[in-house]
C-alpha cells in the first residue's frame, strides 16, 4: 500500500515539556484513520504537525514520500486540509467563507456547486446569504467542513468536527465523509465519540504523547 504520511522519530516540545515523544507511524493512502486518546495526550498537536501548521522539534514527516518542509505552504494546504475543533467563520456572510476556496485557486465562484455542498450537510441554499453571526455552532461546523471539501484535498484531517452536532447531523456528516473516502480521500479523524470509535476501521491511540498501538 502506498503511504500518504510517514512519521519518523517525531518529537515536539514546548520549553521543557515534551508533548510528543518519538512518534513513528505510517498512514496509508485512501484509509479512514481514527485517532483516539485521553484529553491532552497530544492528538491535536500531531494533527497540526501533519497539516504543516507547526513544525516538530525533531524527526521527519514525509507526505507522498517528500518532507513536508519541501512543499509550498499554500499548495500543501490545498492538498492536506485541516478542519478545526472550533471552527471560525470569517468575513460577514456564509458566502464570504464558501467563496474563499475559489479565491485562493483564482476560480470563479460556482454558486450551484456551493448549494450542492450546503445540501450535503443539511443546510438549504438560503444559508449562502446569511450573516456569520446568525448561524449556530453546529451550522458553523458544517459550513467550515464543506469549506474544506469544495475542492477536495488528498487528505482531510478532522479534529472533533462532529462534537457539537445532534445525532441527525452527525449521521449526515458521517455519510458525506464516508462517500468522500470511498472516492479516494484519505481521512484522519480525531474523536472522543464512542460510536465513531466503535465504527473505526483503523485506530491509532495516543497516550502521553506516544503511540500506544500501531
Ligand atoms: N501552545 C502550547 N503551549 C503550551 N502547551 C501546549 C500548547 N499546545 C498544546 N499544549 C499542551 O500539549 C498537550 C497536548 O495538547 P493537545 O491539544 O495536542 O491534546 P489533545 O490530545 O488534542 O487533547 P483534547 O482531546 O483535549 O483535544 C496538552 O497538555 C496541552 O496543554
DSSP code at position 24: E
Q: What is the pTM of this model?
A: 0.94
- Whole-number pLDDT of residue 86: 81
Q: How far is the CA of 75 from the centre of ligand 1 (A)?
A: 27
The answer to whether the CB of 54 is under 6 A from ligand 1 is: no
Q: How far is the CA of 19 from the centre of ligand 1 (A)?
A: 7
The answer to whether the CB of 91 is under 6 A from ligand 1 is: no
Residue 214 has pLDDT above 60, yes or no: no
User: Which CATH number describes the domain made up of 3-89+152-211?
Assistant: 3.40.50.300
Residue 201 has pLDDT above 70, yes or no: yes
Q: Which residue's alpha carbon is at the smallest distance from atom 17 of ligand 1? A: 44
Residues 6 or more apart whose Cβ sits within 8 Å of residue 27: 3, 4, 5, 7, 33, 186, 188
pLDDT tens digits along 4-32 = 999 999 999 999 999 999 999 999 999 99
Extract the C-alpha cell encoding 63.
507526505
The answer to whether the CB of 44 is under 6 A from ligand 1 is: yes
Query: What percent of the chain is modeled with pLDDT above 70?
Result: 99
Q: How far is the CA of 109 from the centre of ligand 1 (A)?
A: 37
DSSP code at position 56: -
**Shortest-distance atom of ligand 1 to CA 37:** 21
Q: How far is the CA of 44 from the centre of ligand 1 (A)?
A: 7
pLDDT tens digits along 75-97 = 999 999 999 878 889 999 999 99
- Whole-number pLDDT of residue 88: 86
The answer to whether the CB of 104 is under 6 A from ligand 1 is: no
The answer to whether the CB of 40 is under 6 A from ligand 1 is: yes
- CA dist 105 and 77 (Å) reads 12
Q: How far is the CA of 102 from the centre of ligand 1 (A)?
A: 32
ipTM over 0.85: yes
pLDDT tens digits along 163-188 = 989 999 999 999 999 999 999 999 99
| CB half-sphere exposure, 84, CA atoms < 13 A | 10
Amino acid at each position: 500500500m502506498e503511504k500518504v504520511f510517514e512519521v519518523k522519530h517525531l518529537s515536539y516540545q514546548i520549553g521543557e515539556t515534551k508533548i510528543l515523544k518519538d512518534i513513528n507511524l505510517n498512514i496509508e493512502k485512501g484509509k479512514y484513520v481514527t485517532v483516539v486518546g485521553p484529553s491532552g495526550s497530544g492528538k491535536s498537536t500531531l494533527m497540526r504537525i501533519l497539516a504543516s501548521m507547526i513544525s516538530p522539534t525533531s524527526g521527519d514527516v514525509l507526505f507522498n514520500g517528500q518532507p513536508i518542509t519541501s512543499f509550498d505552504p499554500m499548495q500543501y494546504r490545498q492538498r492536506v486540509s485541516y478542519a478545526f475543533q472550533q471552527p471560525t467563520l470569517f468575513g460577514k456572510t456564509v458566502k464570504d467563507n464558501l467563496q474563499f476556496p475559489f479565491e485562493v485557486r483564482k476560480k470563479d465562484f460556482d454558486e450551484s456547486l456551493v448549494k450542492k455542498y450546503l445540501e450535503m450537510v443539511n443546510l438549504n441554499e438560503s444559508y449562502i446569504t446569511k450573516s456569520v453571526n446568525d448561524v449556530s455552532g453546529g451550522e458553523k461546523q458544517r459550513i467550515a467542513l464543506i469549506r474544506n471539501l469544495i475542492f477536495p484535498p488528498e487528505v482531510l484531517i478532522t479534529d472533533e468536527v462532529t462534537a457539537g452536532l445532534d445525532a441527525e447531523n452527525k449521521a449526515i456528516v458521517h455519510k458525506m465523509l464516508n462517500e468522500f473516502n470511498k472516492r479516494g480521500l484519505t481521512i484522519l479523524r480525531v474523536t472522543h465519540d464512542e460510536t465513531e470509535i466503535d465504527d473505526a476501521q483503523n485506530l491509532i491511540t495516543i497516550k502521553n504523547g506516544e503511540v500506544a498501538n500501531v
